[in-house]
Structure 1
Amino acid sequence: MARLILFNKPFDVLSQFTDRGTQTTRRTLSDFIDVPGVYPAGRLDRDSEGLMLLTDDGRLQARIADPRYKLGKTYLAQVEGTIGDEALTALSRGVVLNDGPTRPAKAIAIDDPALWPRDPPVRFRKTVPDSWLQLTIHEGRNRQVRRMTAAVGHPTLRLVRKAIGEWTLGDLAPGEWREVRV
């Protein structure tokens, strides 16, 4: 039976088990998960937080990571400025990035979510408001959510992945993981 691990990746952690090619030591998955034979099914940027899936099954890993299977990835994004209907409509239709147009996404404005504090905290500026949105995408380009919000005039300040398909972060605290049945 395939193993599947849900992990809440903290901010400033690489989504791989080793840190190659740097002079400084950065935290990696191996600082949190000591399970032999599992590998990430997809990536999450070092400066992003939230749900990562790890498995020991190559087919399951491909099914989770491959956009062909259209597994939705849901993110909570704190953005600069007050997100309005025009920006939400643009995100919902898909925006044009430097590597081509994105697929349509589901984008809604939300109240500040109940999340753990980030360390270090997001920079607060009295003169620039911020707001939150929930964005579900069905592809996985490099830094896609950040590039999409920037394209509609709202750079991302904090990004937390909440769900991948049917799997959700639930009550996992940063750095915690649990194994689930596939």
Structure 2
Amino acid sequence: MQVVHAVPEDARAVAEIHVDAWRSAYSRILPADYLASLSVEKREAMWKNIVESGQTELLVAKDGGAILGWVSFGACRDKDAPSSQAELWAIYVAPNSWFKGVGRQLWLRARELLSQQGYSTCSLWVFAENEPAIRFYKAIGFVADTLPPQELECGGRQLQEVRCVCRIDA
């Protein structure tokens, strides 16, 4: 498996993983009709634009020609964040590749690049109800922040997201 920067041609596979992972990971968190309404085509256009514009760094994990997962990261978008804090914007692995080390390899490469860019910490936001993801983040070094959860609406449901942080220069 190789972890490399995405190119515009990867947008379709990134979008497919994005939608499939949401439908699998959030099936107990978000309404089924909302998950069914997710559009691979819309996400493909979004990711192609992101790759072409460089809004965030996007890495893909490839095995042969197949993309198994991806990670998006960059400067932290939180208002209280110091310039030394990065953010893991999103990380998703194809459901048939869960628990095979793909997510860990994506994070290790992202962490390496963030460290090279001078960041000392990294944060992320995760649905408070997404216990499997929270366990994964904990396993790769993230801990819950003291910041109160933030409220958001998604798919007609009121949800909470919690922020987790990790040192990347340790």
TM-score clears 0.5: no
> Which one has the bigger helix percentage?
2
Higher relative contact order (CA 8 A, sep 6+): 1
Give the structure-2-normalised TM-score: 0.29
Structure with max Cα Rg: 1
Q: TM-score, normalised by structure 1?
A: 0.28
